[in-house]
Amino acid sequence: MAVTNTGVVLRTITGVHDANFVRPLGDELIIDGSLDNPSNWNGTGTWSISDGKASSSGNSVTQYFAQDINLTIGVSYMISYDVILNTLSANKLLMSGTSAFTSTEIPSSIGRNTVILEVTGIASSGYSFRMANSANNASGSITIDNISVKEILVNRESTTTNTGIVERSVVGVHDANFVHPLGDEEILNGGFDTASGWLNGGDSTIVGGLAHFESNTNLYSYIKQDISSLTTKTYKIQLEVKNYVSGAVQVLFRGSSNALQVLNVSSDGVYTAYLTPNANGDIFEVSRHYIGGNFNFTIDNISVKEVLVNRESTATNTGIVERSLTGVNESVAFRQDVRTNLVPYSEDFSNAYWNKSNASVTNAVSSPDGGLNAFKLVESVGNTSHNVYSGNIAVTLGSEYTVSLYVKKAERSIIKIDGGFRLTLGATFNLETLQVTGLGTIEALTNGWYKLTASGIGEVSNGATNIFVFLLNDNGTQAYQGDGTSGIYIYGAQLEEASQATSYIPTNGAAVTVDNNSTSVVNNTGIVERPITGVNESDPMFPDNTISNIVNIAGLVSSLIADLKARATTFENEEATQEILINLQKC
């Protein structure tokens, strides 16, 4: 990879799957996804639109919310929507079988939900897109907003020339929205043409091109495969459930400890999970989960592929990104001279800017900067989703964004960061196992604090989005019965228009821009060098961890103190770093 003086990235493509950029999307197909005009939608029963939101109450009758859009049989579509409120008694939201899709239960968690479905036929109702409030819901209600349907283009228009340059006949606004490039297929015989490569046990069989699970005694049953090339990186897992009758399905990597996710399966459909194997996690398994009781379902078309984070980068086991770059002063790599924290209240989570949904915050403990200014996010006693989310933040279609947040475990140790309606970013972090599900990183600091980051791209359109911080229970479930006291410590929320997180910029009432007046260049060895004017202290960006003189730079003081305190014990020259802190605090 080389970078020109204009900042354009030139890339030499290698490998069969080098151009396998996952999920480029077509144009928006829904008319009025923000629900501003009720005449664009058809609702039956209790469905109604008010104040730009659609709501429906449970009454033991299936009720539909629909729009007829142009869909193609055999093509997969990404369906996304925000759930603002959900108190439905059975918690069931469906894609109706009278739409162009097979009848499927779809996610209904508070926040942004996404599901990928394939069009299987012509809509018998006359509405190709038709959501349903299930008849299983006898009471309660649900409110949704910001509905989106886009075709998944599957790179069918990408070709690689003999020079290695990718040529694309672009179709649709989002065609170049390359998110989560994927590696090669890790699974052998995922379509079960034979039983080769698979080991099965319990009440599971592989026959007729399918893996079938059926038991009246809830016997532990599985299919598994040894994938020796797996490492502790994130993998996208996808499988198809067919002939579903009952039971719960889980996917996992076995290793020094299991990395497991229970899929939200209640009907036929394609299901996706992101998992990071633990050490020695070479065994991939699909099995029944005991919580579902007796089971009867069939599995087909299993796929496991590595999420490659950055095409020019490799991520180490610590989450540090290594880049193989060439050329001297070709351009600005890792440029941090002008940065903006778009979150206007980065520390004061008690401010009304931060909306509390079935949760509260209390000023509780010392933060990474040493002040008593970290908050505890505390769950309510409800059986629902517990979160805090920001006010509106303007984002730009197609731009890269990264959220960073400092967290410390208390009674809860699993947290999810989500970018809302207009950002693709979303990742779940387990502070016990240090696992990340999704595109994100965990960085261990001092005194039990961690710095979490999640990255994504602006989608749908220019406009406002929200940053959600969800508490999850010990099973990694987002909607659960809270106890009114358990929670997690949070500090220093930051959203910046960048592909990766930079050092923390505190805010109190407005977004803050910092001019570091620093530029990174790349030498012929691929090492990042930074000619700095002002502070040249021990920073992870400096390969030799050298310490230079401190000067008084007002624009850097506030952002450097928090990072330096949190990282102080990680530098080779700890004594010199502590001296820097003392001098900075005098500035």
Please check whether residues 123 and 253 belong to one and the same domain: no
Kindly state the helix (H) or strand (E) to which residue 394 belongs, with its residue range: strand 393-395
Q: Cβ atoms within 10 A of the Cβ of 89, count?
A: 14
pTM: 0.40
- Give the distance between the most distant pair of CA atoms in the chain: 74
Question: Within a 13 Å sphere around the CA of 34, how many CA atoms are in the beta-carbon half?
Answer: 9
| Pair of tokens at residue 319 | 């989450």
Please check whether residues 35 and 94 belong to one and the same domain: yes
Q: With left for phi above 0 and alpha for psi between -120 and 50, is residue 190 left, alpha or beta?
A: alpha
Please check whether residues 345 and 198 belong to one and the same domain: no
Give the distance, in angstroms, between the CA of residue 364 and the centroid of all CA atoms in the same chain.
28
The last residue of one of the domains, among 262, 284, 307, is 307
164 domain-assigned: no
| β-sheet bridge partners, residue 449 | 408
Determine the residue type at 492: G
pLDDT at 449 over 50: yes
148 domain-assigned: yes
> Which burial class, exposed, middle or buried, applies to 487 when counting CB atoms under 10 A from its CB (0-12, 13-18, 19+)?
buried
128-132, 193-197, 485-489: segment of lowest average pLDDT: 193-197
Please check whether residues 477 and 445 belong to one and the same domain: yes
- DSSP label of 8: P
CATH assignment of the domain containing 299: 2.60.120.260
3 domain-assigned: no
User: For residue range 488-508, what is the model confidence (pLDDT) as tens digits?
Assistant: 999 999 999 988 888 899 999
**Residue for token pair 């897992």:** 237
Query: Alpha-carbon distance 498 to 473, whole Å?
Result: 31
332 domain-assigned: no
Pairing relation of β-strands 222-226 and 283-289? antiparallel
Please check whether residues 362 and 414 belong to one and the same domain: yes
DSSP line for 515-552: E--B--EE-TTS-EE--BSS---S-TT-TT--------
223 domain-assigned: yes
Q: Strand, coil or helix: what is 559?
A: helix
Please check whether residues 384 and 490 belong to one and the same domain: yes
Please check whether residues 125 and 205 belong to one and the same domain: no
158 domain-assigned: no
Please check whether residues 275 and 140 belong to one and the same domain: no
176 domain-assigned: no
Q: CA nearest 60: which of 99, 88, 84?
A: 88
pLDDT at 456 over 50: yes
User: For residue range 200-245, what is the model confidence (pLDDT) as tens digits?
Assistant: 999 999 999 999 999 998 888 999 998 876 766 778 899 999 999 9
Range of the domain at 256: 184-307
Please check whether residues 45 and 189 belong to one and the same domain: no
**Residue for token pair 């207009």:** 422
| Pair of tokens at residue 216 | 């009246």
Mean pLDDT of 322-335: 33
Question: Within a 13 Å sphere around the CA of 316, how many CA atoms are in the beta-carbon half?
Answer: 6
Please check whether residues 227 and 297 belong to one and the same domain: yes
Please check whether residues 126 and 189 belong to one and the same domain: no
Tally of domains in the chain: 4
Please check whether residues 412 and 346 belong to one and the same domain: yes
179 domain-assigned: no
pLDDT over 70, % of the chain: 72
